[in-house]
Amino acid sequence: MTAARSIIERILGSLGASGIVRTGAQRRADRLARLLRTLISERGEASGAALARQAVALYQGLDAPARSHFFQLLARDFSPDRELVLAAAKAYHRDPSPENLASLERVAEPARQEVFRRMNMAPGGTATLLDLRRHLLEEARGHPELTMVDHDLTHLLASWFNRGFLELRRIDWKTPAAILEKLIAYEAVHEIHGFPDLKRRLERDRRCFAFFHPALPDEPLIFVEVAFVNEMPSEVAPILALESVVGDPRRARCAVFYSITSCQPGLRGVSFGNFLIKQVAEDLRAELPNLKVFATLSPVPGLRAWAKKALHKSASAEPLRAKLVALADDSAAVPPPELREPLEGLAAWYLTREWSGGHAMDAVARFHLGNGARLERVDWGADATPRGRAQSFGLMVNYVYDLDQVERNHEEYMNKHRVVASAAVERLAKTVEPLFVDKPQLPAPTPAAER
């Protein structure tokens, strides 16, 4: 378990070497690391919980420098031993017996994982590990060697926050204020301006659902906000309006997922959104049979940035190109009505034709298309805020979740690298084809290679 040493030592210098004056931060980090080593070396569990409690308390007492040092120790001293790994791999290669496999698994799993499992045994352990990962992610930006610690923690968290362990709860005005307060703080898409604003979003023509984990009963992991409306909406302001009339959910035709927010930085990369949207859609369909359409009203965050680059590169001589380039270059410009059609076309093209690493280039598109949604409509002027114009010329789009089609759509998207879009969107995309005439219009997917 002293592997990975050389590379890290190169980065750290001779951390902890004798003769070097150590700081208080180092000492505290070292102390915790020693405790953790004891924690995982105990064959029995006699003192497990007590030691775990101590470890958690020590960790929580670390200041930023001590924490940095501690993360380095986790990377350096709790990785698999190179020699043992090689020996076990050779043995398994020679004879893939259960014993050899067990040995391999034992030596190949970094001791960090057991560290984290043991820390989780303390009261508040799970919350502490999420906190640890949040700091780790920040620290890892400048310290790539920490990605291996993060890799192990993510592996564990993904296993622990398995969908089978999550609880879907409806959030309403009867929910404890301590939880509502967190929704207000976390909301990432359309800011919630205090409790009265939130209250409007919890009236009977709105819904809010969140996933919780039993070990964090007061902490929403992700939540989605839904509005019941008559028609698939083409702008967001009416949904957010505080003074709007409260409608009757039993008469609504359309459920709009107008906001979805991941709450825990410590769970970045552990994905629940797909499960949440589908579960909510299924539940609502069962409760309110009048609902016929489940759709989003979503931003297109990468549109203008892409358009700027792509239009500059374009060899097209179309006069339109110049106008669009001028608009794309100015993040504060108000999109003129006469450019509505080409801008909608650009959005359609961008979302259906532009890929990156086997996925749709746009982050939001990637999420919904990957979930099996269909790109349904481009909405001109849907988000008239400066941010909306800077991101996407004020355009938004609707993705539709047709529960009977999501698997097939997903299949198309994943395996054939084809975006399922409405005929209208397809038509829009075609209108801007001349602008990109030299460009291969479709990716040439070799699925095996991209996987």
* Ranges within 30-49 binding its own copies (CB under 8 A): 42-49
Token output for 361: 């280039």
Which residue, 95 or 330, has its beta carbon nearer to its own copies?
95
* Position among 73, 88, 293, 364 found at the interface with its own copies (CB under 8 A): 88
333-362 binders of its own copies (CB under 8 A):
none
Q: If 0-12 CB within 10 Å is exposed, 13-18 middle and 19+ buried, where does residue 105 land? A: exposed
Residues in the chain: 451
Nearer to its own copies, 45 or 191 (CB): 45
When binding is defined by CB under 8 A, the residue of 17, 22, 27, 159 that contacts its own copies is 159
Interface with its own copies, residue 57, by CB under 8 A? no
Q: What is the 3-state secondary structure (H, E, C) of 207-237?
A: EEEEEEECCECCCCCEEEEEEEECCCCCCCH
> Is the CB of 90 or the CB of 312 nearer to its own copies?
90
CA angle 355, 356, 359 (to 5 degrees): 70
CB of 56 to its own copies, least distance (A): 10
Does 449 interact with its own copies (rule: CB under 8 A)? Answer: no
Kindly state the number of chain residues that form the binding site for its own copies, as judged by CB under 8 A: 95
In 3-state terms, what secondary structure has residue 96? coil
Residue 435 in contact with residue 316, Cβ under 8 Å?
yes
86 binds its own copies (CB under 8 A): yes
Binding of its own copies by 329 (CB under 8 A): no
Task: State the nearest-atom distance from the C-beta of 156 to its own copies, in Å.
Answer: 7
Is residue 422 close enough to count as binding its own copies by CB under 8 A?
A: no
- Distance (Å, rounded) from C-alpha 247 to C-alpha 251? 8
φ, ψ of residue 161 to 5 degrees: the values are: -95, 30
Residues 387-406 contacting its own copies, CB under 8 A: 403-406
Using DSSP's 3-state secondary structure scheme, residue 187 falls into coil
Among 66, 208, 414, 425, binds its own copies (CB under 8 A): 414
**Least spacing, CB of residue 411 vs its own copies, in Å:** 6
- How many C-beta atoms surround the C-beta of residue 182 within 10 A? 17
Question: Measured from the CB of residue 313, what is the shortest distance to its own copies in angstroms?
Answer: 29
Number of neighbouring beta carbons within 10 Å of residue 17: 10
Q: Quick one: which of 97, 230, 356, 441 contacts its own copies (CB under 8 A)?
A: 97
The span from the CA of 154 to the CA of 52, in Å, is 20
Residues sharing a CB contact under 8 Å with residue 196, sequence separation 6 or more, in sequence order: 242
- Residue closer to its own copies by CB (options 389, 417) is 417
Please return the burial class of 381, using the count of CB atoms within 10 Å of its CB with bins 0-12, 13-18 and 19+: middle
Binder among 12, 156, 226, 343 for its own copies (CB under 8 A):
156
Q: Which of 191, 218, 329, 330 binds its own copies (CB under 8 A)?
A: 218
**Does 275 contact its own copies by CB under 8 A?**
yes
Q: What is the DSSP letter of 403?
A: T
Give the shortest CB-276-to-its own copies separation in angstroms.
11
Segment near its own copies (CB under 8 A), from 77-85, 229-237, 301-309, 437-445?
Answer: 77-85
Contact positions with its own copies (CB under 8 A) in 171-210 = 173-178, 180-181, 194-195, 199
Which residues make beta-bridge pairs with 209? 170, 224
Nearer to its own copies, 280 or 311 (CB): 280
Q: Per-residue string for binding with its own copies, 233-272, x by CB under 8 A?
A: --------------------------------------x-
Query: In this structure, which amino acid lies at residue 183?
Result: L
Strands 293-296 and 254-262: parallel
Between 45 and 63, CB nearer to its own copies: 45
144 binds its own copies (CB under 8 A): yes
Shortest spacing between CB 326 and its own copies, in angstroms: 38
Residues between 101 and 130 that touch its own copies (CB under 8 A): 101-102, 104-105, 108-110, 117, 120-123, 125-126
**CA–CA gap between residue 300 and residue 383 (Å, rounded):** 10
Query: How many Å from the N-terminal Cα to the C-terminal Cα in the chain?
Result: 32
Among positions 290-309, residues that touch its own copies (CB under 8 A) are none
142 binds its own copies (CB under 8 A): no
160 binds its own copies (CB under 8 A): yes
Please identify, using beta-carbon distances, which residue of 80 and 233 lies nearer to its own copies: 80
DSSP code per residue over 103-156:
HHHHHHS-HHHHHHHHHTTSTTHHHHHHHHHHHHHHHHTT-GGGHHHHHHHHHH
Nearest partner of 251 among 202, 291, 207, judged by Cα? 291
How many Å apart are CA 369 and CA 352, to the nearest integer? 10
Q: How far is the CB of 145 from its own copies (least distance, A)?
A: 6
